[in-house]
Amino acid sequence: MFIKNQMGQSYKPIAAAEQPILALGRVLQSLREEDDVDVLIETAIAYIKQEFNYNLVWIASYDRLKHALLGRGGIAPSRDLSFLRKRLVLQPGDLLEQVVIQQSPLGVADIRNEKRAGEWREFGTKFNIQGTIMLPMRYKDRCMGLLLLGSERWGYLLPEDAKARLMIILGELAAILYQKEIDLQHKQIKRPDEPLLKLLENVRNLTSLEERLKAVVKATHDFVSPSRTNVYWFERQGRYFWCRMGNQLVHLGRDNNREQPAAGMTVQELNDLYYALSVNQIVWVGDARSSLKGQFTAKLLERLRVRSLLAAPIIWQKDLLGFVAVEDYEPRIWTDAEKNFVQGAAGFISLVAPNDNIEDTVKQIQEDSQLTSEVAQSIYTHQDLKETLRTCAARVTNRLNASRFLLLHYDHDLNNYQVIYQTQPHNRRSFNSGFSLLTETDRQMLKSAKTTVAVENIEEDLRFFNWRSLLLENGVRSLLICNCAQGHKGETLLIVTHASPRSWTNQEKELLWVVSQQIGVVVRQWRLQTNNEQQQQVLHSIEQSLNIVKGTESENNEPKQHHLESKALEQIASVLNCPLALLLSWSDGDSTAEIIPGVIVDSKFDVLITAKLLVQYEALIQWALSEKGYLCVSIDQIPAETRRWLKGSGIGQVLIIALRTGVDHQPTGVVLLADHRERHWSQYSLNAGEILINQLAWLRRQQQINQRLKSTTQKLRQLNWYKHRRLEEIQRTTTSLLGQIHDLGIPSNDLTQTRYQLLLRQLDHTATSMTAMVKQEQWQLYIGWETMPIATLLKRSLERVDCLVKQQKLWVGVHGLAQPLTEKEAVPAPSNPSLMAIAGDIIKFELILHELLLAACHRSPNNNRVDIWCRRLNERFLEVSITDNGTIEPQLLTELQQKTHQDILAISRLEKSPILNLLICQHLMQQLGGELDIYQLPDHRVASRLVLPLAEGNS
């Protein structure tokens, strides 16, 4: 078929594939030429109806502020099209919100079965709509609306060419809607200048503050058009906000309507809002945007029961009086014009608010001036510091309505702040402990501060964190603190506290600052007088320190290790007033020195106590030995090797002196004292310390002599016991062998001859062992090294007490030889118990075990039992416990557990056998690498626990 034009020319027919393109071009041209939005949408609907076979067509625009879809028309199976004009508020999780947020197409095979379809599910069920496709209208990453297509067919498959045409139409429609929205916004822009000028004129003609607040609220509400507009006033004493005026409230002045005060909102509830307003910042919370932190924003909106907020502070002389708030029940984006108007309205209130109580303000300034004058007069009139401070504290606490007045002074000796004066309420206890040292940040803040530092709520403020727990325990929630010497280190601090969180005005801060500087002068004079008194007491301290020898040993307890040195170092540190004192100690002939601590105030003067110092190579020791007196060394001069153990960060100076008792005596120690870099060592304190150090040297020498004598006595006792027991054993064995030889008589046959020779060899072995003992252990014990199965050792020990066991009719049992360490022990126990061997000096182990068995048998009643328990502790040690039902005196058991007696001159039960023998065995086991403990079990049995080293083959 051909088509002819007016000229009679013929053209080929238009191809079917070109028809959709032409239709698309025509509708795009129509959309570009039309200005009316409703006509645009009707054109798009007509095109979709003509080109696509769908029973349901719905176009909706998106309202971002209300997060809703507004139906703009469409095609429906019914004649009632009101549903297509309905507003649908998007709910979290539904399909329509997903398309709007993700801005991507979404299909549903059967909308009747889709729970997230909302009201469209009911619509589909009513009109038999199944397959549904939802397409977004987007422009510049903004969703302007969506298109919903539905049919009675199941499924949502859309051909690519059809989808492309739809996206082109929707994109063009979105661009036009976007431009329309921008044009509308430009037409609706508010200009705050004229309303603000009109508000200024109205406020100027009004007389009372309440009328002015009402005018500001009305003008703000008319300009911004929120859900409500309020003026919140700040109450400093209770630290809360109350609604003083609002467009939805009646007059809420406290003076005229005390019976119905407005509900308050505490600063704790409006924390971030309060601190932002305090620094004169405007606060806004809108549609998914906020000038505050997200976590607090949700709590703030929930507290005010709104979804949008715009607040501007009312500030006078840097003090927050309150804020103007416009609030909306729906999410809203605040414009710059609205922010400027609210901020200007708040500024008007800040100008007129002080005029409401101008007379009270003038009167308060006069009273403050009189107060500072009276405080100064009191300071220069009274000679007694306490009386002066009492007068100042009474006036200041009354003026500031405070609960406590505290004056702190830094104590260099204790390294903390001590309370030199305080007042508190009658129902509160005073501060009995000192205040810890402040952090470096807090100290620098107080040093550079030129006014009072205020803490409104110590539970929320990170400043003075080191004092938080102490203050809270004593009922302090808010405070003012002043450095009484401006520009200097905060050694004297004046603190005024309150029992509840509160806000402090700048006028109150300035008043306390003036008083604190006056008090600082008095405290400095008092400290000078105190220092003079302390100098007079130095001689008394030296006299007390010389009596230290009386306390080297207590009445009821044994002298502790290095007790003399520690006590002497404490006295030396007290006289020299330093935070670190220790002794580098060694004995004559030792190559290493140990560290004996005396005074270590805190971690800043920490020392690695466990370090072993080489006497020949340690710099501090060699420097001290080369000097006849004191040597002061800066921390910067000390080598890095020394600073590894002298590691305290606060150490700045080190003072060292060697312990000398005579020209012929070798020094055996170096006293080390340390303090901060700025420390000045006064000459009188150095002289006093030198006397104490010389006394320590002589006392230490005498103590070492006594210790050496005691050690020698102990060794001789061990040797005597050991030889005596060995000779007893040799005598017993020799007697037995000789008796057997006599019983054999003259050998008459080969069997008797063999037996005779065996006894002679045993007799020779016994004589040989006695010879070795006499030669090798004449004046000290010789530690041998052998191995022996534990079963053999127990057998030999039991043979030695066999006569005593039979005599007392005792039953002796051995348990646990074949048991492993634990049920889950990975190391297997020997399959043959006799192979479990111990290593060491077997002869001494056997004698100690014999001594324990002998004591157990002597303690046990006749016809009783003695148990031997073997248990492998680990791969290195074996535990042998002997239990019996005998009795032992508690006093002897206590002395035995202490392993030594308190006084070498006092008469002790330990000097008598068998307790002395057991004590010797305890000391000997320590030298042999084992343990011996004797104690009483809960069932009153006596237990002797012996820990023996295992041979390497058992590991």
In SS3 terms, 86-119 reads as: CEEECCCCCHHHHHHHHCCCEEECCHHHCHHHCH
Q: Tell if the pTM clears 0.75, that is, is over it.
A: no
More confident residue, 362 or 863: 863
Enumerate residues 6+ apart whose C-beta is below 8 A from 258. Answer: none
Q: How buried is 938 (Cβ within 10 angstroms: 0-12 exposed, 13-18 middle, 19+ buried)?
A: exposed
Question: What is the sign of the dihedral through the CA atoms of 84, 90, 95 and 100?
Answer: positive
Strands 580-585 and 669-675: antiparallel
Question: What is the sign of the dihedral through the CA atoms of 906, 909, 913 and 917?
Answer: negative
Neighbours of 225 (CB within 10 A): 13
Residue tagged 């008589």 (tokens): 745
pLDDT tens sequence across 483-516: 988 888 888 999 999 988 888 888 888 888 888 8
Separation of CA 14 from chain center:
83
For residue 780, is pLDDT > 50?
yes
pLDDT at 357: 60
Neighbours of 655 (CB within 10 A): 22
More confident residue, 135 or 559: 135
Beta carbons of 930 and 879 less than 8 angstroms apart: no
Strands (E), 828-949: 837-840, 865-872, 877-884, 931-936, 942-949
Q: Cα-Cα-Cα-Cα dihedral of 165, 168, 169, 174, to 10°?
A: 160
pLDDT at 517: 86
More confident residue, 720 or 185: 720
The DSSP string of 510-552 is HHHHHHHHHHHHHHHHHHHHHHHHHHHTHHHHHHHHGGGGGGS
* Nearest residue to 226 via CA among 321, 381, 341: 341
For residue 557, is pLDDT > 80?
no
For residue 602, is pLDDT > 60?
yes
pLDDT at 320: 87
pLDDT at 362: 61
For residue 287, is pLDDT > 80?
no
More confident residue, 327 or 912: 327
Rounded distance between C-alpha atoms, residue 913 and residue 900, angstroms: 15
For residue 655, is pLDDT > 60?
yes
For residue 6, is pLDDT > 60?
no
pLDDT at 260: 36
pLDDT at 391: 80
Beta carbons of 844 and 913 less than 8 angstroms apart: no
Rounded distance between C-alpha atoms, residue 288 and residue 294, angstroms: 9
pLDDT at 559: 46
Amino acid at 739: G
Mean pLDDT of 677-697: 82
Rounded distance between C-alpha atoms, residue 48 and residue 501, angstroms: 67
Q: How buried is 102 (Cβ within 10 angstroms: 0-12 exposed, 13-18 middle, 19+ buried)?
A: exposed
The DSSP string of 650-689 is T--EEEEEE----SSSPP-EEEEEEE-TT----HHHHHHH
pLDDT at 7: 43
- Based on C-alpha coordinates, what's the Rg of the chain? 49
pLDDT grade for 750, boundaries at 50, 70 and 90:
confident
More confident residue, 397 or 19: 397
DSSP reduced 3-state for 904: coil
More confident residue, 725 or 643: 643
E strand or H helix that includes residue 232 = strand 228-235
Mean pLDDT of 609-633: 91
pLDDT at 546: 59
Rounded distance between C-alpha atoms, residue 111 and residue 124, angstroms: 6
Q: 243-252, 256-265, 701-710 — which is least confidently predicted?
A: 256-265
More confident residue, 739 or 440: 440
Mean pLDDT of 530-546: 63
Strands 865-872 and 811-815: parallel
pLDDT tens sequence across 34-48: 778 888 888 888 888
Enumerate residues 6+ apart whose C-beta is below 8 A from 779. Answer: 719
Report the percent of the chain where pLDDT is more than 90.
Answer: 24
Rounded distance between C-alpha atoms, residue 75 and residue 129, angstroms: 13
H helices of 745-817, in order, are 750-776, 790-800, 802-808
Beta carbons of 407 and 423 less than 8 angstroms apart: no
For residue 267, is pLDDT > 70?
yes
Contacts within 8 Å (CB) and 24+ apart, 29-32: 31/169, 31/172, 31/173, 31/176, 32/172, 32/176
Residue tagged 């040690």 (tokens): 877
Mean pLDDT of 391-416: 84
Residue tagged 């590991």 (tokens): 955
pLDDT grade for 255, boundaries at 50, 70 and 90:
very low
pLDDT at 861: 93
pLDDT at 652: 92
DSSP reduced 3-state for 721: helix
Q: What is the mean pLDDT of the chain?
A: 81
Q: 128-137, 326-335, 940-949 — which is least confidently predicted?
A: 326-335
DSSP reduced 3-state for 255: coil
Rounded distance between C-alpha atoms, residue 41 and residue 662, angstroms: 114
Rounded distance between C-alpha atoms, residue 518 and residue 511, angstroms: 11
* Nearest residue to 310 via CA among 218, 211, 227: 227
E strand or H helix that includes residue 150 = strand 142-150
pLDDT at 884: 94
For residue 542, is pLDDT > 70?
no
pLDDT at 378: 59
Mean pLDDT of 729-751: 77
Rounded distance between C-alpha atoms, residue 878 and residue 951, angstroms: 10
DSSP reduced 3-state for 1: coil
DSSP reduced 3-state for 847: helix
pLDDT tens sequence across 485-494: 888 888 899 9
* Nearest residue to 457 via CA among 319, 271, 242: 271
Sheet (strand 669-675) strand order: 613-614, 592-600, 580-585, 669-675, 653-658, 631-634
Strands (E), 305-428: 308-316, 319-328, 404-411, 416-423
Q: 370-379, 410-419, 430-439 — which is least confidently predicted?
A: 370-379
Mean pLDDT of 125-154: 90
Q: What is the largest CA-CA distance in the chain?
A: 167
DSSP reduced 3-state for 20: helix
pLDDT at 11: 44
Beta carbons of 805 and 831 less than 8 angstroms apart: no
Residue tagged 């209130």 (tokens): 349
* Nearest residue to 312 via CA among 431, 223, 432: 223
Question: What is the sign of the dihedral through the CA atoms of 207, 211, 215 and 217?
Answer: positive
For residue 279, is pLDDT > 60?
yes
Beta carbons of 599 and 580 less than 8 angstroms apart: yes
In DSSP terms, 493 is beta-bridged to: 408, 483
Rounded distance between C-alpha atoms, residue 247 and residue 261, angstroms: 16
Q: Evaluate the omega torsion of the peptide bond into residue 501 and state whether it is cis, within 30 degrees of 0.
A: no
Beta carbons of 145 and 169 less than 8 angstroms apart: no
Mean pLDDT of 670-687: 85
Residue tagged 């200007």 (tokens): 344
3-state helix, strand, coil in the chain (%, to 5): 45, 20, 30
Rounded distance between C-alpha atoms, residue 100 and residue 777, angstroms: 100
Question: What is the sign of the dihedral through the CA atoms of 706, 711, 717 and 719?
Answer: negative
More confident residue, 814 or 703: 814
Residue 462's φ and ψ, nearest 5 degrees, are: -85, -10
Rounded distance between C-alpha atoms, residue 521 and residue 379, angstroms: 9
Beta carbons of 895 and 901 less than 8 angstroms apart: yes
For residue 654, is pLDDT > 80?
yes
